[in-house]
Every structure is written in C-alpha cells, then in structure tokens.
Amino acid sequence: MPNGYLDDARTQFRKLRELAENALAQVPEESWFVRIDPESNSLALIMKHMAGNMRSRWTDFLTTDGEKADRRRDTEFEDESSDTAEAVRARWDAGWALVFEALAPLTDEDLGRTVFIRGEPHTVLQAVNRQIAHYALHAGQMVFLAKHLAGDRWRSLSVPRGRSERFNETMRERAGRKPPPGGGAS
C-alpha cells in the first residue's frame, strides 16, 4: 500500500462533504424536506441517513461493530416532528465530526487491521473505501435533488456545460503542462 492513502481518503471525505454542502446552499432550508415523489428521499432524509451511518460506522471504529445495536436505520428515512433544518444540520455536522475524529489517529499500519460491519470482517482499508463509495452515492443524490429544486438558480458545482476545453486549459496552466499532441489526457 503506498503511503498517503489515509491522507487521500481524508481529502476525499472533505470533498464529498463540500460537494453536498455546496448543493444544499443552493436551495432554501425549507426545500430540504421536499420529496419529488412518495418513494424518494428528501435532502433532509439523505442527511439524516448519512449522519446515522456515520455515527454507527465511525464511533469506536476500530473496536466495535460498525452497525451499532442502538441504530434505528429505518427511522433515518422517516419524517419526524423534530426534523427541523437546524436539527438535521446538527446531526449532519456531528456525523462528519465522527468521520474525521476516527480517521485522525489512523496510520498506514492500521490499514490491514480487521473491523466488522454487521458481523462481516473488513480490513480498515476496505471499510474506509466502503464509506467513501457510500457517501459519494448520497452526495450525488443530493446534488441531483438540489439541482432539481433550485431550477434556474442552480450554479454548477463542477465544469459548466460548454466550458470543458477552457477548464482543461486552465488546469494544465496551473500544473505547468502543455496539452499533449492530439489533445486528450496525458
């Protein structure tokens, strides 16, 4: 395993949080509770689910099963009277704090250690990758939903349509590289 994996994992988690929060910032808080159909989740429900997952997975990460006995996963997908934007945001922030607190002390030597999720063994590396993939899925859902809810007010969180070439040129300039002959990736 190359050195630096955990630093990159921390970076990826930060980027996923930033992506989701930049999407949330484009819609009013009352829109966080809108479902586009009866079977879909609102932004608030996705946030609750992610926060519940984070609490369960990252609390005592190395020493207890990642699916805590007191987790009530099904309720993460239910609207509750206590679900205000402020309450959902607090859960979200607390969940992310647990992610980074659990990752902070890990070293490359920990990557091969075994942790359990629902009784299933994972190396720390596998467990971290599993959570990056899971949070990426939900961050993408949040972007899609926020874009839908924002409508014409939406501002791209990545490369805007029709601006790929200019973006690539800017990135190459920052890196001090010239485009390869014939274009494409180098």
pLDDT, tens digit (0-9, with 9 covering 90-100), for 83-105: 999 999 999 999 999 999 999 99
142-162 tens-digit pLDDT: 999 999 999 999 999 988 788
15 and 55, same structural domain?
A: yes
Check residue 185 and give its pLDDT: 56
Provide the β-strand partners of residue 115.
122
58 and 41, same structural domain?
A: yes
34-61 mean pLDDT: 97
181 and 138, same structural domain?
A: no
Please tell me the total count of domains within the chain.
2
Check residue 103 and give its pLDDT: 98
Contact 62/113 with Cβ under 8 angstroms?
Answer: yes
Count of helix runs (H) and strand runs (E) in the chain: 5, 2
Is 60 exceeded by the pLDDT of residue 175?
yes
175 and 104, same structural domain?
A: no
Mean pLDDT taken over the chain: 93
124 and 184, same structural domain?
A: no
173 and 111, same structural domain?
A: no
Torsion angles phi and psi, residue 156, rounded to 5? -55, 140
Check residue 62 and give its pLDDT: 97
Check residue 176 and give its pLDDT: 85
138 and 68, same structural domain?
A: yes
Residue 149: C-alpha distances to residues 12, 17, 144, 153, 161 (Å): 26, 19, 9, 9, 19
Which stretches does DSSP call E strand in 2-147?
114-117, 120-123
% of the chain surpassing 70 pLDDT: 95
How far is the C-alpha of 71 from the C-alpha of 87, rounded, in Å? Answer: 18
Full residue range of the structural domain in which residue 20 is found: 5-155
